[in-house]
Amino acid sequence: MQIKDFQKLIRDRYHETDARRGVPGTFLWLTEELGELASELADRERGQGDPEALALEFADVLAWLATIANVCEVDLEDAVHRKYVMDGGPPGTK
């Protein structure tokens, strides 16, 4: 699946609700998912991690990132291409 396809899937399923929630509420959901990912990463570092739970938290973070990009009308695939392919990545990464 391409980034564009995933972003469209999220838009098709959730955009009406996401648009009503707006950027502030959607950003709060994203930060909550980042917190859940942080917990799974901490468990992994302590040797108590569940690889499947960790993978699903990564998926949730990606979904909420796509959600907020949709609300802000940002094409993630295009942005990634411009930032990391055309421009060669952030300074100091070469």
The pLDDT of residue 94 is 58
Question: Can you tell me which residue has the tokens 């917190």?
Answer: 35
Q: Does domain 3-85 have CATH number 1.20.140.10?
A: no
The pLDDT of residue 70 is 98
Nearest to 90 by CA among 80, 68, 2, 78: 80
The pLDDT of residue 88 is 73
Give residue-wise pLDDT tens across range 8-48. Answer: 999 999 999 999 999 999 999 999 999 999 999 999 999 99
- How far apart (Å, rounded) are the C-alpha atoms in residues 64 and 10? 9
Question: Can you tell me which residue has the tokens 């055309």?
Answer: 86
Q: Residue 60 corresponds to which tokens in the numbers above?
A: 């949730």
Per domain, the residue ranges of the chain are 3-85
Q: How far is CA 45 from the centre of its chain?
A: 22
- How far apart (Å, rounded) are the C-alpha atoms in residues 38 and 49? 11
Check if the beta carbon of residue 20 is closer than 8 Å to that of residue 3: no
Residue 76 neighbours by CB under 8 Å, 6+ apart: 3, 4, 7, 65, 66, 69
Give residue-wise pLDDT tens across range 47-94. Answer: 999 999 999 999 999 999 999 999 999 999 999 999 999 877 667 665
